[in-house]
Structure 1
């Protein structure tokens, strides 16, 4: 019996990220060699989402070539996973009929999302060339406001009637399963298409064949309106662990469902937008390497210009206190330490509050309680940091009065920073703005100005200047 050596006997385990990168690099190498058969064979066992990522990582000239290697059925699935910028590029590369074959077979919600990104002329042309059924579905979704349940829902669902037997309902499911987004939830409607109940597939298959849907369905249905914000839909699905939630219009008629995969996209988009805003950056839909550097700079410069202007207030405060700094030059050495620490404390506080507001863990009616809690936390932080800084300042300069001024200022600045960092997001939400706009750079600048003012005035009092 032959034995493998140690190196051969240990399986090589690689992560999915490494696997995707391996597929991308091998695909690019095969295309460079013009080995189209080899590239096609390479993609056969790969999942559509991974194929999409591999295509996105290819040079622009190779993306269309790689996409054409896919079968029609696989191409439709892969296309839905592609970034919107790559989708637009492929549309420009394909012949008109190729585009129609793909776009017509896309799910309506994914098609509507694509049309949101395309130029209006292209959308108008594609709409007229879709099949009447798909054109109607797409027009329905595009008729709702962006970022609402109506815009992200799919009209492809299975509906049943209360008087149907289990046997008849199963026949209906068999007929519609291939054209429905999901079959795990079944929606019961009346003759006017109003939503009257819901039933899980498990409940259906475990019922007796001669029972009717009305006997086993759940009549209390959690649903949303077509104008419900998509973030609220996402939170609803997350709270109840739904796979989908029904969408009704103003007359309570069932018009579609929002599925969990669409909600995941919404949550990712919202988290990305909030992170950008917390960093003082305008968000964009394109990926990092696909964005022009001039566009990158333009998105970042807006907040930086605002902060540059507001930071002049810090300079004005320092100039107004020049007499104090002239008498005790040592005080100037601690200004960066104090405003830097204050900015960081404020940024921590605002981040916690903004995240709590976005996840509904914190409510605007709890503003006073939250601000008070953060102020107490700021006092503890200030005392701990202030004692350290007091000792450090005394060791450096041997002047207890200066060290006391620095330590006391840090306590006051920490309290100010936590109050500002927790209160300002509530203020923004109260006046109808996204709390994330009250970003860390803004909080930092606000604390810088008031922190310097507190520090130099406390020093004036303690040093009796």
Structure 2
């Protein structure tokens, strides 16, 4: 086994990547280009891409041009869209065409989504007709759909072939196609009629008809299927690739699991940003966008929260007499509203996640809300008992201690119920449930919690 083939532990790989990045910078500064070539020989394409991305923009093109042509093509597909665009604008025309032509059609379509229209037209017009047609086909589908993310470079066989004929066809096509574990079987009109695994094909008798070996129960999606649903289908049925068909069930392409992993990361990032009250764009790297855009994305939710929190100020001003008479009540206000906000955020988080992963597909919303309400009540009782002891220690008045404890129970129940219910309401209305995120839930619970607390105080303390 050579050094380049050696198995390297994950931790050592991280150290190796750091060493490669530092040595690459140093060798380029010294203009030791032969040293750069030798350094990158045993390095994986994805690690080379990461090292190039961390170079100053002026030297990225130089490092890239020191790669061998085939290696450069592989490295280019791992680069971020920003660096891909920057390099493409620096390439000579033929150099750009060679790189773009060698990319998989789905990766090429993703790249064109990020490029200026003028540059896309220039590059697209110089591609060979076959590649130009494949790319135009994908660009014709709506972004975020199966049609846009599929690759037309799959292997299909006719259902009238024998196993040996099918194997021969696969050997001819495999070099230029994205081969997964499956081979797709079509009829006379290219209609998808079945699938066969490579394992079953190899084990089949040479003269055995494909019809007898293939599986006719095919899991597929049409070109308009949302990319999140594509990811769920691949996960649900443990697939390595999913065939994509049109409305007549004609096979057009496949989505492979590596593309789905990118989608899962994008969608998870979008949901996390949304739940954090940040306007999300799954196509962007938040840490690469310009500073004014950072402020612009975060200000809308904060403005909404300020306006809604004015309601809290209004409520407190209307209960000024209660707070004046028993000043100790104000001591526990932050404790109560923070606890309520946290309980509500917990309930909304688990429901939003359940809706996103389809774990709640067969659960009735009423059952989920009741379950969270009971959880909130249990938490309220446990925390209430603790708070009684704390309140007695600080103010020494049993009436205030029990007022705070009962208020905490009511607030925990309200928070859990609201936190579980609102994501379902938004989902039913066709909005993203992640909009019912921690900031929004916390604000609603704050308002309800203050109302509950002060009214309980009036009742128990006879104010």
State the TM-score, normalized to the length of structure 1.
0.95
Say if 2:180 and 2:240, in contact at 8 Å, map to a contact too: no
Superposed CA deviations along residues 323-347 of structure 1, whole A, max 9, x for unmatched, are 1111111111111111111111111
Residue matched to 2:416: 418
Say if 1:148 and 1:229, in contact at 8 Å, map to a contact too: yes
> What is the 5 A alignment of 1:130-145?
130-145=127-142
- Matched residue SS, 1:15: helix
The correspondence for 1:437, drawn from 435, 445, 450, is: 435
> What is the 5 A alignment of 1:361-376?
361-363=359-361, 366-376=364-374
Change (3 A) 1:422 1:200: same
The answer to whether the aligner puts 1:327 opposite 2:325 as a matched pair is: yes
Root-mean-square deviation (Å): 1.5
Distance in 2, matches of 1:46 and 1:267, equals 27
Say if 1:349 and 1:418, in contact at 8 Å, map to a contact too: yes
Say if 1:85 and 1:286, in contact at 8 Å, map to a contact too: no
The answer to whether the aligner puts 1:87 opposite 2:84 as a matched pair is: yes
Measure how far apart 1:365 and its partner are: 5.8
Say if 1:223 and 1:248, in contact at 8 Å, map to a contact too: yes
* Unpaired segments ≥5 residues, structure 1: 1-10
* Unpaired segments ≥5 residues, structure 2: 1-7
Distance in 2, matches of 1:385 and 1:52, equals 51
Measure how far apart 1:210 and its partner are: 1.5
The answer to whether the aligner puts 1:267 opposite 2:270 as a matched pair is: no
Which range is displaced more, 108-117 or 294-303? 294-303
Question: How many pairs does the alignment contain?
Answer: 455
Superposed CA deviations along residues 20-73 of structure 1, whole A, max 9, x for unmatched, are 222112211211222221112111111111111111222222222211111111
The correspondence for 1:456, drawn from 447, 454, 457, is: 454
> What is the 5 A alignment of 1:379-390?
379-390=377-388
Distance in 2, matches of 1:187 and 1:122, equals 36
The answer to whether the aligner puts 1:122 opposite 2:137 as a matched pair is: no
> What is the 5 A alignment of 1:149-298?
149-284=146-281, 285-298=283-296
Change (3 A) 1:364 1:336: farther
Superposed CA deviations along residues 132-153 of structure 1, whole A, max 9, x for unmatched, are 0111111111111111111100
Change (3 A) 1:12 1:352: closer
Residue matched to 2:3: none
Distance in 2, matches of 1:58 and 1:317, equals 56
Distance in 1, matches of 2:9 and 2:353, equals 40
Distance in 2, matches of 1:266 and 1:311, equals 36
Say if 2:106 and 2:149, in contact at 8 Å, map to a contact too: yes
Measure how far apart 1:287 and its partner are: 3.2
Say if 2:221 and 2:243, in contact at 8 Å, map to a contact too: yes
Distance in 1, matches of 2:415 and 2:432, equals 20
Change (3 A) 1:184 1:43: same
Measure how far apart 1:363 and its partner are: 2.9
Superposed CA deviations along residues 243-294 of structure 1, whole A, max 9, x for unmatched, are 1011110011000001000011111111111111111112243435422222
- Matched residue SS, 1:250: coil
Measure how far apart 1:13 and its partner are: 8.7
Say if 1:378 and 1:414, in contact at 8 Å, map to a contact too: yes
Residue matched to 1:40: 37
The correspondence for 1:299, drawn from 283, 290, 297, is: 297
Measure how far apart 1:121 and its partner are: 2.1
Say if 1:364 and 1:426, in contact at 8 Å, map to a contact too: no
Distance in 2, matches of 1:26 and 1:88, equals 25
State the TM-score, normalized to the length of structure 2.
0.95
Question: Which 4+ stretches in 1 moved above 6 angstroms?
Answer: none
The answer to whether the aligner puts 1:23 opposite 2:15 as a matched pair is: no
- Matched residue SS, 2:101: helix
Distance in 2, matches of 1:380 and 1:48, equals 53
- Matched residue SS, 2:219: coil
- Matched residue SS, 1:191: coil
- Matched residue SS, 1:178: helix
Measure how far apart 1:308 and its partner are: 1.4
Residue matched to 1:314: 312
Change (3 A) 1:400 1:256: same
Say if 2:372 and 2:420, in contact at 8 Å, map to a contact too: yes
Change (3 A) 1:35 1:42: same
Superposed CA deviations along residues 189-232 of structure 1, whole A, max 9, x for unmatched, are 11211011111111111111112212211112111111111111
Residue matched to 1:4: none
Distance in 2, matches of 1:68 and 1:220, equals 48
Residue matched to 1:7: none
Distance in 1, matches of 2:253 and 2:176, equals 14
Which range is displaced more, 391-400 or 372-381? 391-400
Distance in 1, matches of 2:362 and 2:304, equals 27
